[in-house]
Structure 1
């Protein structure tokens, strides 16, 4: 094994060694730069990035030193800090531990921003007379932003809520970093090329947007070339960059500035939203009026229903009316019959008193005498007929076969009820029926 084997560091050893070297070499130095990405956690410490045009370094100022500051540092402030260069060993992050801080005029980025803004303003790029009119009812909206940003979802959600029928087209672009300005310009050019190729479905409104961030995060929207491209753009454009307190050059050169991406979508959909609300209000009013109309007519129909008599009731009443008429007619007929009967009785009484009555009595007496004579003749005739019938009955009895049976004779018949008159008409084993004067017996022939 070689004796000069080199020492192998662990990561922790390496970071600690580097930390010791840096802290020893840069124990107390002064650095000038611009504050960016400042953060103030509840611990009271202060964390920020100190940067210039070409480099940056992370800084930490702990609570004890922070409490001695005589001003409130903000993003964009140019400052001079005194501290020690170190490494946060747990992550290997290179940083400066700040011991003191003093302001050093306005931030360089803010100075650049103000300078560009004033130059473009003097050229008239921000003049109201050059602003294009935002369409009241845009049909096709192009959204220039990063596809991964939350701002895109905020814009889409706002349109879905307020103008769900709008046609949205996302035009992807980088919205942070050195490549962002060129990417944003290319996105605008893509929108123009789309309109050139699709005359029947052109984008009639653009929204350029991204969420909030530090001045460095939003710096790509302060690009002069991007501003001039937006100024020359024929399509109306709304800017919705950052939060309400954030302002960029794009905000000033755009046709209208919205404080947030969501607000940009709300501006673009405002007319649709008002119509939607108006339609909903009218719909509610129509529903209310229709409900009242139905309610009133329901009451009216209910009242009419109470007045309308059921056909069953009408038939029942008619039947009852007919019954009453029948009763009255029956009463009148009975009364009339009674009167006619009384009149008839009167006539009969009068007839009894007349000569016709005596003739009727005489005729009645003669009829009674004739009836007695007829009855006597009928009685005599019946007696004579009975005597004749008795003599005929006695003569018949004398010649009747049954009267012969009374004298001991019998009548023999076969199974066919034929009377046997000759012994040769039967054979052995025939069953014969013998009729006596009283009763009947069956016999079997044994010898022929």
Structure 2
């Protein structure tokens, strides 16, 4: 081909010209690195990548085939400044000058990583990462402040996770920009707002801070590698959890915070873990309590049923008591008759004795004595009868008190469900439920309109 090109007077075809130029370009510019900004990015269904790499002076078309772009560890987009490694070539059919890319990396990553390691080592030597100085994360925080942008997915993820796992936890957003040159300053301002809130607030103090942001390139997350921000975090007396980026992303903010979470969602789960575990324990206690109460009710029902079987019919008991009272009454009457008979015999004997003696004085005294004895007998008899009647009345009252039907006669009623279960409190019924009410005489069907 060099011979063809050197022959100025020889006529060649367009195809031969393009092939000669392609040969020279590929030979002279192989495996070169070119830095520029991506534009006109296109990825068709074939998986190949076509774009323009430009700077302020010029632009070049680029192609990166599927087998090469599958090895990328990031997703390039229009506006990204990148370093592209590849071979300069010419697309002979159209004569397009282009760069065939074999690899690509974000521009400036190497320099940023060097700065990151230098700052990390500097702060580590000063003791900002010392584990003994880190604050303990509260098990059940009452008020959590989130430092992030309210428009990010990270804020929504954290909010959703905490509300699902710990709905009673108070959450506050301390707004900050989480990407760009001024982002670190706004994060410091967000920390300062939290401190001022705690200084003036008497209730609901913030007892945990979450600094969160979703994943991105090292440039996107660079604001979290700011030295001034790191020093502000280290001075904060409120425990801080850092949830920046993805699990593979590390920032200075992660190292200086009291705890690092791999993602914003993981940070929310750590903050709400105490509530979540407490809810699980409460549910376990609730289930155990329910089982114990159910077992106790079953045992009590068995005892009640056993005692119920042992109970006699109240009418039978009443008849036995009446019979007993009748027996007592008969014995009292017999005793009274015997007593009177005995006293009458004594009177007869005395009368005979007086008749024999016939002294008027003695007769008169004996007559008075007899009257007195008679009075005592009557009083004693009346007292005995009164006592017996009182005792019988008490027995009758006790018997009536034991009769379940007497309770209903006092105005009480028994409420039952349709399946015959007795209702003991309002928690056992529902609004609109049909019930049966039993009175001393008859029953009625009712419907629950309201309950308290």
TM-score range, shorter chain: 0.5 to 0.7
> When the two structures are aligned, how many residues end up with a matched partner?
280
From the superposition, tell whether residues 239 and 68 of structure 1 become closer, same or farther in structure 2 (CA, over 3 Å). Answer: closer
From the superposition, tell whether residues 131 and 68 of structure 1 become closer, same or farther in structure 2 (CA, over 3 Å). Answer: closer
SS in 2 for 1:107: helix
SS in 2 for 1:67: helix
Shift of 1:149: 1.4
Residue of structure 1 equivalent to 2:148: 145
Residue of structure 2 equivalent to 1:215: 218
Aligned pairs (5 A) from 1:180-191? 180-191=183-194
* CA–CA distance in structure 2, aligned partners of residues 246 and 42 of structure 1: 31
Shift of 1:313: 5.6
Q: Which consecutive unaligned segments of at least 5 residues does structure 1 have?
A: 1-26, 86-95, 326-448
Residue of structure 1 equivalent to 2:102: 101
* CA–CA distance in structure 1, aligned partners of residues 127 and 207 of structure 2: 24
Matched, 1:165 2:164: no
**CA deviation map 1:303-351 (0-9, x unaligned):** 22222233246568999x99xx9xxxxxxxxxxxxxxxxxxxxxxxxxx
Residue of structure 2 equivalent to 1:396: none
Shift of 1:183: 1.2
Residue 121 (structure 2) aligned to one of 114, 118, 122:
118
* CA–CA distance in structure 2, aligned partners of residues 34 and 223 of structure 1: 26
**CA deviation map 1:157-207 (0-9, x unaligned):** 222222222121110111122221111111111111111222443211110
CA root-mean-square deviation: 4.2
Residue of structure 1 equivalent to 2:85: 80
From the superposition, tell whether residues 67 and 201 of structure 1 become closer, same or farther in structure 2 (CA, over 3 Å). Answer: closer
Matched, 1:204 2:207: yes
The structure with the largest alpha-carbon Rg is 1
From the superposition, tell whether residues 103 and 158 of structure 1 become closer, same or farther in structure 2 (CA, over 3 Å). Answer: closer
* CA–CA distance in structure 2, aligned partners of residues 233 and 106 of structure 1: 30
SS in 2 for 1:276: helix
Residue 262 (structure 1) aligned to one of 250, 256, 265:
265
Shift of 1:48: 9.1
* CA–CA distance in structure 2, aligned partners of residues 124 and 132 of structure 1: 14
Q: Which consecutive unaligned segments of at least 5 residues does structure 2 have?
A: 1-24, 76-81, 91-96, 328-452
Residue of structure 1 equivalent to 2:234: 231
User: For structure 1, which segment, 310-319 or 222-231, has the greater mean C-alpha deviation from structure 2 after superposition?
Assistant: 310-319
Q: TM-score, normalised by structure 2?
A: 0.53
Residue 32 (structure 1) aligned to one of 30, 34, 38:
34
Contact 2:211-2:244 within 8 A present in 1 as well = yes
Residue of structure 1 equivalent to 2:277: 274
**CA deviation map 1:268-303 (0-9, x unaligned):** 222222222222211111111011111111122122
From the superposition, tell whether residues 35 and 318 of structure 1 become closer, same or farther in structure 2 (CA, over 3 Å). Answer: farther
From the superposition, tell whether residues 48 and 150 of structure 1 become closer, same or farther in structure 2 (CA, over 3 Å). Answer: farther
SS in 2 for 1:291: helix
Q: TM-score, normalised by structure 1?
A: 0.53
Contact 1:139-1:204 within 8 A present in 2 as well = yes
SS in 1 for 2:138: coil
